[in-house]
Amino acid sequence: MLDQIDQQPDERLFPYERWTPQLEELSNTYRNNTPFPHIHLTDFLNEAVARQLVQEFPKPDDASWIQYKHYNENKLGKNERNAFPPLIGQIIDELNSPEFVTWLSELTGILNLKADTSLEGGGMHQTERGGFLNVHADFIMHHHRKNWHRKCNLILYLNEGWEEQWGGSLQLWDSSMKRCVNDVSPLFNHVLMFNTSATSFHGYPDPIHCPDGTTRKSLALYYYVVQSNSVSVPKSTLYHARPGDGFGRSLLIFCDNNLLRFYSFIKSTFGLSDGFASRILGAIFRKKK
């Protein structure tokens, strides 16, 4: 908790005093990075805060994790804010606060950003040995908030001692899915922020090889703008095969996309939770195999 951290009286959970003077430079970097606007920052939070987040992070055998396990991904998620450990909850609240969202809007150049306090698809993520996330473009329309269009992702990594040979780097692919342009290792207290669009392809598609008992941990927050007119945009994540994946793998990715599209429709129509939908998807995939 905060009282366990050697913190100065005026210190904030997010160090605005360190990052705000750099906003103009950061914004230029963000907008000019390829293959889509993004920025990768190190030492995002004060180190003591970040270390406490790691200590609080629930183990994968905690019963409340959502099982995201189907052909295109194998990871765990948790997005019920009331069930978060104390400091993780406070960090999530800070990164969803009006002050931080204003800071992020200035960084990205995206006007009128809104935080998603429901953490649809976001919150805590954790991947065990053998887990993966195929390359994809994220869902753009919020499942439960009409006209909320997703514009920006923030991923904070919490992996002390992560080694490159374990894999798990987030690959950033070009809009034609011809090549991986950049990749970001999931290192401790590093953050990646990037534009969300129909062509912002990213993922860590190769199973990670971390030791048993070690996991790839992150916090994910998504930001939206409210558009007055409804636009036909994807409500489901769209996965893509990589060059060289072969016909069989490409076909399975395509089939799984259709399942996801159907369950996204069901979620939106009936207001179902991520946990319910992911359990159904997992059951269907296991039966299919």
**Each residue's pLDDT expressed in tens, for the chain with a length of 289 residues:** 444 454 443 457 999 999 999 999 999 999 999 999 999 999 999 999 999 999 999 999 987 899 888 999 999 999 999 999 999 999 999 999 999 999 999 999 999 999 999 999 999 999 999 999 999 999 888 777 778 999 999 999 999 999 999 999 999 999 999 999 999 999 999 999 999 999 999 999 999 999 999 999 999 999 999 987 655 555 678 999 999 999 999 999 999 998 887 766 665 665 655 555 555 544 554 444 4
At 144-167, the pLDDT tens digits run 777 899 999 999 999 999 999 999
The full set of domains in the chain, from first to last, is 2-288 (2.60.120.620)
Q: pLDDT for 95-142, tens place per residue?
A: 999 999 999 999 999 999 999 999 999 999 999 999 999 999 998 887
**Degrees (nearest 5) of the Cα angle 193, 50, 150?**
25
The model carries a pTM of 0.89
Q: Which residues of 127-166 are buried (b: 16+ CB within 10 A; e: fewer)?
A: bbeebbbbbbbbbbbbbeeeebbbbbbbbbbbbeebeeeb
Mark out the alpha helices in 57-209 (DSSP H runs).
Answer: 86-95, 98-108
Q: What is the distance between the alpha carbons of residues 232 and 257, in angstroms, rounded to a whole number?
A: 17
DSSP state of 141: B
Q: Residue 189, by phi and psi: left (phi above 0), alpha (psi -120 to 50) or beta? A: left
Please give the structure tokens belonging to residue 89: 């909850």
Task: Find the length of the chain.
Answer: 289
**Is the preceding omega at residue 21 within 30 degrees of 0, hence cis?**
no
